[in-house]
């Protein structure tokens, strides 16, 4: 099923291939294997892929890429990253990518390497681009505590009821730091109705999954 | 219960057209039960191999079929009391419960498919999407929870969402060497070779995203190129192109490269000069073009004037020729006039002669055509009348069918009204239950308080009496009596709670008895005894056969 | 030794209580009215003409206000479990007869919940969850991925700093028959006390949330927690 969905755009892509990549990208790709040596090409592609997939991770710089012809290398880096981004965006598979590159008459060694790396990392690329876009604060974590007052400035006696402090939040991916999205108080009755409401969502989802 | 039965029968009829929707559930024979249940089961789980009908003859086979069906129902998740007896000795209450469960489990798609027959061959995008959503939901509902930081790894296989969200925030001004190296100035080339940060350094800040930036720039480049092409078409005609280049690539550079101010300043000054120059040249060109077009307009006007005047000139020349010798010329002209008139008369005569037959011909053809037309309309009318009759007939038939069908299915409004009623009742009952529960809780609380108080009191008294019992004889007796009292009282309490338990059990048993009574055991028992007798008969027959065979063997 | 700690001034204001029980009932009713609608000078004037020779509404108003302060101090100082309200009242007002004390006790107990609701939770107001709307969403395409199927649950949380029973009234507000200023004031109030949050989650996290919250609820019902809460009480 997924294969048919992917094939559709790639079949159409032949007609509009040139349109999807800008001249700068094409020029950058053409440098690979020609101006930039085959060995350096491999390093450059691998490095670009790593930096694309792990934007927050600290990855050791590879100075030899820029040792000679730095402008071309910079252009090629941009070309490779853009190529992968566009390919992932339009759901190309390895074959479609190869076809595109051959239409652009890229150096054959570079085509092989680009396709291989793309196929190896396609899933990660899709996952990476799936995360990109507009989102509301995403809740993945719940913290709670039960609180009961003993005495307060306005009342000498305790209310004698346990309250819940519910804290919904998520973790920052890079640092693991927890970010509170919302915090509120409720009593047992309100908590029960909240749980019921959430279960209603779950039930609805289960129904959608079956029907 | 009637409506429920109606709905059940309607659904069964859809599953298996062999089941008539007018039959009564309470009068189902074992054969019908087996047929209905196995029909439903094969819809729910087509992979199960189930017998479709109950064999008429041997009890053992009937038993086997019934137990395999019961097994199938259990596998589908039915939790009620079910076994071979449900099928062989059906009773309406259990059967209703079972069929209601099975019908609820029926796959919905079947109904949808039936509605849209003929569209099945190719799945539309919508259906595909629905399937994907369903799949995604099922996996998410089933997969165990994974902590967020492990999700990118944990959900990788299923392509599930890692629940990490990145805003689409592009770096709007990425500086990357442009496509054509020849168009770059020396300074630019040097800048890109040495100073310029690479793509990843430019997008390292947490406020922008690499992929977003790249996609943004790619689209901008593609879009921008088209725009510039149209610009170039205009400028190309007069201006040399190179002058445009630095001005195009320069802003990018100046914004990205702030630290070395001097060359930039110089360059920008230069560019500004060139731009001003360019502008003045363009303005000049514009004014020249305007003058040119004005001149062209005047030229065309003059040519027009000339064309208009020339025929006039010719006429005037002729007139002056004629006026030179008036009398002779007038006579000549009169003779010419006369001859021309004679010529014209003969021509009209000829025309009339030629025209007459043609007119007649036209007349005849016209009338023939009209007659044909009328004929056609008439036949058309007849045909339409026939069609009308057919349609009215069809309409009547359909009306009758509609009436029948609306009668057979109880109106939806009625159902909803009833459902509302039920819901109202249930709500009322729930409130009552809550009330009772509250009362019970209150009572329990009081009981606990009193019990605790009593316990404390007892302990205290016990202590007190024990202390004094050491010295006082009466107190000793009192202490003994207290102990006895305490044990008796606790026995009493135990008795009361036991009684309560027993009453509860009695009530449960009563409910059970009522339920059993509903199952009309007596008739089932009769049936069972009948079947057992059949079995015995069968066994005896078999034994007789065996004996006969043995004797035959011995005889030989 | 009054455990209610009324000031001498308040006691003076409550001098009007030394009247027949029916008059005290009138006063108490005025106090109820004060709680809901604010002061009503015409009414006090009418009462004053009945009670005093001068017809000065001021003592009546003072009495009504003192009654409310009595109500508040009874609610905050006398814990709800100790039922001997009557004795406390008797200690406070040794010179009143039983009938009037009965009326006072009724007055204090009937509005206890109202006062408790607004006072006890009044000091530090955290946001409470009032309502939750939800929607199941599927993102089918985005600028960075044209073909996808990303299921999210989007929820809108309605948070409010007011205690819950007062919220209900706010939620079911009917705009008919209210003046522009009143409506504007209400909106202003909502802006100050309300917060609506839009959040989202995935189904798997939703299940986890349900489980965690249920655990919390179950934990609160254990004997241990109950003992602690009762002990504090």
Residue extents of the structural domains in chain A: 2-130, 141-210
Q: Which residues of A touch B151 (CB under 8 A)?
A: 140
Sign of torsion over alpha carbons A119, A120, A121, A124? positive
Res A3: pLDDT: 38
Q: Which residues of A touch C148 (CB under 8 A)?
A: 130
Asked if residue C64 is part of any domain, the answer here is yes
B163/C208 touch (CB, cutoff 8 Å), yes or no = no
A206/B141 touch (CB, cutoff 8 Å), yes or no = yes
Domain check: are C105 and C136 in the same one?
no
Greater pLDDT, B353 or B105? B353
Of C79, C98, C120, the position where a domain reaches its end is: C120
Greater pLDDT, C217 or C7? C217
- Three-state secondary structure call for residue B49: coil
Sheet-wide strand order for A163-171: A138-139, C194-201, C150-160, C128-139, A178-187, A163-171, A141-147
B221/A22 touch (CB, cutoff 8 Å), yes or no = yes
Question: How many residues make up chain B in this entry?
Answer: 556
Report the residue from A5, A21, A131 with minimal CB separation from B166: A131
Q: Which residues of B touch C207 (CB under 8 A)?
A: 141, 145
Question: Distance from B439 to chain C by nearest Cα, in Å?
Answer: 18
- Three-state secondary structure call for residue B76: coil
Report the residue from A19, A78, A138 with minimal CB separation from B176: A78
User: What is the rounded end-to-end Cα distance, in angstroms, of chain A?
Assistant: 19
Chains that touch C (3 or more CB pairs under 8 A): A, B
What are the tens digits of pLDDT across the range C12-54? 777 777 777 777 888 888 887 887 777 777 777 777 777 766 6
Maximum mean pLDDT: which of B126-135, B143-152, B196-205, C212-221:
C212-221
Q: Which residues of A touch C143 (CB under 8 A)?
A: 89, 132-133
- Going by DSSP bridges, is the β-strand pair C194-201/A138-139 parallel, antiparallel, or unpaired? parallel
Q: Which of B258-272, B459-473, B483-497, C58-72 has the lowest mean pLDDT?
A: B258-272
Report the residue from B138, B177, B199 with minimal CB separation from A81: B199
Domain check: are C85 and C153 in the same one?
no
Q: What are residue B240's phi and psi, to 5 degrees?
A: -75, 140
Asked if residue C18 is part of any domain, the answer here is yes
Domain check: are C85 and C132 in the same one?
no
Question: Distance from B166 to chain A by nearest Cα, in Å?
Answer: 5
| CA gap C176, B532 in Å, rounded | 78
Mutate to test the interface with B, among C152, C198, C203 (most CBs of B within 10 A): C203
Identify the CA nearest to C186 among candidates C210, C209, C162. C162
Identify the CA nearest to A16 among candidates A99, A106, A122, A133. A99
Q: Which of B25-39, B390-404, C127-141 has the lowest mean pLDDT?
A: B25-39
Report the residue from B133, B141, B215 with minimal CB separation from C149: B133
Please give the model's pTM, rounded to 2 decimal places: 0.50
Residue A121 tokens, joined: 């990392």
What are the tens digits of pLDDT across the range B274-286? 999 999 999 999 9
pLDDT at residue B385 tops 70 = yes
Domain check: are C101 and C18 in the same one?
yes
Q: Which residues make beta-bridge pairs with A185?
A: A165, C128
| CA gap B164, B175 in Å, rounded | 29
What confidence category does residue A15 fall into, taking pLDDT thresholds of 50, 70 and 90? very low
What confidence category does residue B110 fall into, taking pLDDT thresholds of 50, 70 and 90? low
Contact of C201 with C209, CB cutoff 8 Å: yes
pLDDT at residue B77 tops 80 = no
Distances (CA, A) of A119 to A3, A17, A97, B385, B524: 14, 19, 9, 70, 69
Domain that holds residue C187: 128-201
A5/B128 touch (CB, cutoff 8 Å), yes or no = yes
Of C89, C120, C151, the position where a domain reaches its end is: C120
- Long-range pairs of B52-57 with CB within 8 A, sequence gap ≥ 24: B54/B30, B54/B87
In the numeric block, the tokens 């109820």 are attached to: C32
Domain check: are C89 and C69 in the same one?
yes
Domain check: are C97 and C170 in the same one?
no
| CA gap B475, B537 in Å, rounded | 83
Which residue is closest to C153 within chain A, CA to CA?
A201
C204: how many CB neighbours lie within 10 A of its CB?
Answer: 24
C138/B133 touch (CB, cutoff 8 Å), yes or no = yes
Mutate to test the interface with B, among C149, C200, C221 (most CBs of B within 10 A): C149
Per-residue H/E/C for B88-103? HCCCHHHHHHHHHHHH
Asked if residue C219 is part of any domain, the answer here is no
* Half-sphere exposure of residue B193: CA atoms within 13 angstroms, side-chain side: 11
Asked if residue C101 is part of any domain, the answer here is yes
Res B253: pLDDT: 41
Res C168: pLDDT: 43
Report the residue from C143, C144, C151 with minimal CB separation from B140: C151
Domain check: are C65 and C109 in the same one?
yes
What confidence category does residue B295 fall into, taking pLDDT thresholds of 50, 70 and 90? very high
Q: Which of B99-108, C79-88, C112-121 has the lowest mean pLDDT?
A: C79-88
Chains that touch A (3 or more CB pairs under 8 A): B, C
B150 and chain C: CB distance < 8 Å anywhere?
A: no
Q: Which H or E run includes A169?
A: strand A163-171
Domain check: are C55 and C75 in the same one?
yes
State the Cα torsion B388-B389-B392-B397 to the nearest 10°: -140
Res C83: pLDDT: 55
Of C96, C120, C144, the position where a domain reaches its end is: C120
Q: Which residues of B touch C211 (CB under 8 A)?
A: 145
Q: Which residues of B touch C204 (CB under 8 A)?
A: 140-141, 143, 145-146, 160, 163
Judged by phi (left if over 0) then psi (alpha if -120 to 50, else beta), residue A33 lies in left
Identify the CA nearest to B50 among candidates B31, B29, B32, B71. B71
- Three-state secondary structure call for residue B238: coil
Domain check: are C103 and C39 in the same one?
yes
What are the tens digits of pLDDT across the range B330-382? 888 899 999 999 999 999 999 999 999 999 999 999 999 999 999 999 999 99
Contact of C61 with C39, CB cutoff 8 Å: yes
* Range C176-198 average pLDDT: 71
Which residue is closest to B123 within chain A, CA to CA?
A1
Residue B121 tokens, joined: 């061959």
Report the residue from A85, A142, A190 with minimal CB separation from C129: A190
| CA gap B86, B92 in Å, rounded | 10
Greater pLDDT, C55 or B384? B384
Per-residue H/E/C for chain C? CCCCCCCHHHHHHHHHHCCCHHHHHHHHHHHHHHHHHCCCHHHHHHHHHHHCCCCCHHHHHHHHHHHHHHHHHHHHHCCCCCCCHHHHHHHHCCCCCHHHHHHHHHHHHHCHHHHHHHHHCCCCCCCEEEEEEEEEEEECCECCECCCCEEEEEEEEEEECCCHHHHHHHHCCCCCCCCHHHHHHHHHHHHHHEEEEEEEECHHHHHHHHHHHHHHHHHHCCHHHHHHHHHHC
C42 and chain B: CB distance < 8 Å anywhere?
A: no
Res C165: pLDDT: 46
Maximum mean pLDDT: which of A172-176, A206-210, B239-243, C167-171:
A206-210
Domain check: are C115 and C19 in the same one?
yes
B176/A26 touch (CB, cutoff 8 Å), yes or no = no
Identify the CA nearest to A145 among candidates A169, A177, A167. A167
A130/C150 touch (CB, cutoff 8 Å), yes or no = yes
Domain check: are C68 and C101 in the same one?
yes
Report the residue from A129, A159, A162 with minimal CB separation from C220: A162
What are the tens digits of pLDDT across the range A100-141? 888 888 888 889 999 999 999 888 888 888 888 888 889 989
Which residue is closest to B131 within chain C, CA to CA?
C149
User: What is the rounded end-to-end Cα distance, in angstroms, of chain C?
Assistant: 24
Contact of C203 with A205, CB cutoff 8 Å: yes
Res B207: pLDDT: 78
| CA gap A169, C207 in Å, rounded | 15
Question: Distance from A138 to chain B by nearest Cα, in Å?
Answer: 7
Instruction: State the complex-level ipTM.
Output: 0.80
Mean pLDDT rounded to a whole number for chain C: 76
Residue C196 tokens, joined: 């609506």
Asked if residue C227 is part of any domain, the answer here is no
Question: How many residues make up chain C in this entry?
Answer: 233
User: What is the rounded end-to-end Cα distance, in angstroms, of chain B?
Assistant: 67
Q: Which residues of B touch A1 (CB under 8 A)?
A: 128, 131-132
High-pLDDT (> 90) share of chain B, %: 31
Domain check: are C135 and C105 in the same one?
no
B338: how many CB neighbours lie within 10 A of its CB?
Answer: 10
DSSP conformation letters of B309-342? HHHHHHHHHHHHHHTTSHHHHHHHHHHHHHHHHH
Residue C86 tokens, joined: 């009557």
Res B287: pLDDT: 92
Question: Distance from A117 to chain B by nearest Cα, in Å?
Answer: 17
Residue C28 tokens, joined: 């108490």
C151 and chain B: CB distance < 8 Å anywhere?
A: yes
B129 and chain C: CB distance < 8 Å anywhere?
A: yes
Greater pLDDT, B123 or A166? A166
Which residue is closest to C202 within chain B, CA to CA?
B163
Helix B210-236 to helix B244-256 angle, to the nearest 10 degrees?
160
Asked if residue C194 is part of any domain, the answer here is yes
Question: Distance from A150 to chain B by nearest Cα, in Å?
Answer: 23
Asked if residue C45 is part of any domain, the answer here is yes
Contact of A32 with A76, CB cutoff 8 Å: yes
């Amino acid at each position: 099923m997924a294969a048919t969905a992917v094939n559709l755009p790639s079949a159409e892509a032949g007609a509009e291939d040139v349109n999807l990549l800008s001249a700068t990208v094409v020029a950058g790709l053409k440098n690979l294997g020609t101006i930039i040596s085959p060995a350096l090409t491999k390093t450059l592609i691998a490095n670009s892929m790593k930096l694309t997939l792990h934007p927050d991770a600290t990855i050791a710089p590879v100075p030899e890429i820029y040792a000679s012809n730095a402008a071309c290398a910079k252009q090629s880096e941009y070309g490779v990253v853009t190529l992968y981004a566009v390919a992932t965006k339009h759901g190309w598979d390895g074959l479609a990518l190869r076809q595109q590159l051959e239409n652009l008459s890229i150096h054959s060694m570079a085509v092989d390497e680009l396709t291989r790396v793309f196929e190896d990392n396609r899933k990660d690329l899709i996952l990476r681009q799936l995360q990109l876009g507009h989102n509301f604060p995403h809740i993945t974590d719940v913290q709670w505590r039960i609180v009961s007052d003993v005495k307060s400035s306005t009342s000498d006696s305790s209310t004698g009821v346990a309250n819940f402090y519910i804290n919904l939040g998520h973790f920052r991916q890079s640092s693991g730091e927890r970010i509170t999205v919302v915090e509120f108080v409720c009593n047992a009755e309100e908590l029960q109705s909240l749980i019921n409401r959430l279960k209603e969502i779950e039930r609805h989802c289960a129904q959608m999954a079956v029907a | 219960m009637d409506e429920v039965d109606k709905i059940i029968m309607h659904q069964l009829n859809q599953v298996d057209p062999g089941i008539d929707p007018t039959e009564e559930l309470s009068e189902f024979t074992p054969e019908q039960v087996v047929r209905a249940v196995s029909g439903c089961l094969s819809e729910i789980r087509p992979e199960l191999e189930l017998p479709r009908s109950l064999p008429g003859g041997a009890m053992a086979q009937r038993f086997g079929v019934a137990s395999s069906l019961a097994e199938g129902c259990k596998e589908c998740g039915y939790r009620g009391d079910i076994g071979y007896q449900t099928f062989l000795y059906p009773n309406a209450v259990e059967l209703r419960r079972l069929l209601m469960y099975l019908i609820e489990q029926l796959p919905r798609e079947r109904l949808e498919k039936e509605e849209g027959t003929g569209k099945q061959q190719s799945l539309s995008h919508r259906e595909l999407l629905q399937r994907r959503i369903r799949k995604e939901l099922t996996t998410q509902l089933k997969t165990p929870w994974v902590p967020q930081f492990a999700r990118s790894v944990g959900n990788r296989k299923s392509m599930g969402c890692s629940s990490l969200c990145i805003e689409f925030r592009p770096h709007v001004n990425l500086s990357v060497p442009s496509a054509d190296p020849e168009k770059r100035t020396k300074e630019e080339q040097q800048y890109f070779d040495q100073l310029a940060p690479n793509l990843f350094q430019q997008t390292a800040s947490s406020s922008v995203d690499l992929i977003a930036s790249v996609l943004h720039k790619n689209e901008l480049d593609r879009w921008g190129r088209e725009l510039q092409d149209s610009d170039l078409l205009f400028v190309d005609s007069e201006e040399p192109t190179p002058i445009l280049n630095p001005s195009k690539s320069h802003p990018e550079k100046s914004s990205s490269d702030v630290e070395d101010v001097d060359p930039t300043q110089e360059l920008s000054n230069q560019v500004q000069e060139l731009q001003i120059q360019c502008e003045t040249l363009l303005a000049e060109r514009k004014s020249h073009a305007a003058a040119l077009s004005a001149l062209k307009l005047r030229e065309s006007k003059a040519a027009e004037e000339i064309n208009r005047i020339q025929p006039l000139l010719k006429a005037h020349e002729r007139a002056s020729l004629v006026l030179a010798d008036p009398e002779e010329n007038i006579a000549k002209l009169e003779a010419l006039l006369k001859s021309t008139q004679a010529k014209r008369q003969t021509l009209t005569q000829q025309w009339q002669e030629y025209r007459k037959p043609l007119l007649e011909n036209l007349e005849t053809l016209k009338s023939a055509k009209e007659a044909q037309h009328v004929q056609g309309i008439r036949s058309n009318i007849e045909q339409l009348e026939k069609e009308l009759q057919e349609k009215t007939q069809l309409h009547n038939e359909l009306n009758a069918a509609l009436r029948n069908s609306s009668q057979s299915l109880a109106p939806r409004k009625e159902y909803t009204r009833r459902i509302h009623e039920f819901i109202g009742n249930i709500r009322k009952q729930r409130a009552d239950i809550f009330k009772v529960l509250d009362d019970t809780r209150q009572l329990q609380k009081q009981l606990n308080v009193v019990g605790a108080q009593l316990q404390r009191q007892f302990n205290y008294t016990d202590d007190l009496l024990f202390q004094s019992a050491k010295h006082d004889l009466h107190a000793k007796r009192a202490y003994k009596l207290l102990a006895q009292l305490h044990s008796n009282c606790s026995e009493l309490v135990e008795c009361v709670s036991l009684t309560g338990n027993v009453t509860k059990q009695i009530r449960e048993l009563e409910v059970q008895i009522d339920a059993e009574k509903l199952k009309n055991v007596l008739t089932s028992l009769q049936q069972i005894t009948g079947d057992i007798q059949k079995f015995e008969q069968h066994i005896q027959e078999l034994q007789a056969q065996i004996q006969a065979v043995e004797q035959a063997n011995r005889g030989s | 030794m009054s455990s209610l700690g009324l000031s001498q001034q308040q006691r003076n204001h409550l001098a009007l209580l030394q009247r027949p029980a029916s008059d005290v009932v009138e006063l108490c009713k005025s106090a109820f009215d004060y709680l809901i609608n604010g002061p009503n000078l015409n009414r006090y004037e009418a009462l004053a003409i009945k009670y005093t020779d001068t017809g000065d509404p001021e003592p009546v108003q003072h009495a009504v206000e003192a009654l409310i302060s009595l109500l508040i101090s009874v609610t905050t100082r006398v814990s709800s479990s100790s039922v001997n309200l009557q004795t406390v009242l008797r200690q406070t007002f040794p010179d009143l007869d039983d009938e009037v004390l009965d009326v006072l006790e009724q007055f204090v107990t009937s509005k206890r919940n109202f006062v408790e609701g607004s006072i006890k939770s009044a000091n530090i107001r955290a946001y409470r969850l009032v309502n939750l709307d939800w929607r199941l969403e599927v993102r089918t395409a985005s600028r960075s991925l044209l073909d996808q199927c990303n299921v999210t649950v989007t929820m809108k949380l309605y948070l409010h700093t007011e205690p819950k029973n007062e919220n209900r009234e706010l939620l079911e507000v009917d705009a008919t028959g209210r003046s522009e200023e009143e409506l504007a004031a209400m909106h202003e109030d909502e802006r100050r006390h309300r917060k609506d949050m839009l959040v989202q989650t995935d189904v798997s996290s939703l299940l986890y949330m349900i489980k965690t919250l249920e655990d919390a609820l179950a934990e609160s019902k254990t004997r241990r927690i109950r003992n602690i809460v009762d002990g504090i009480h």
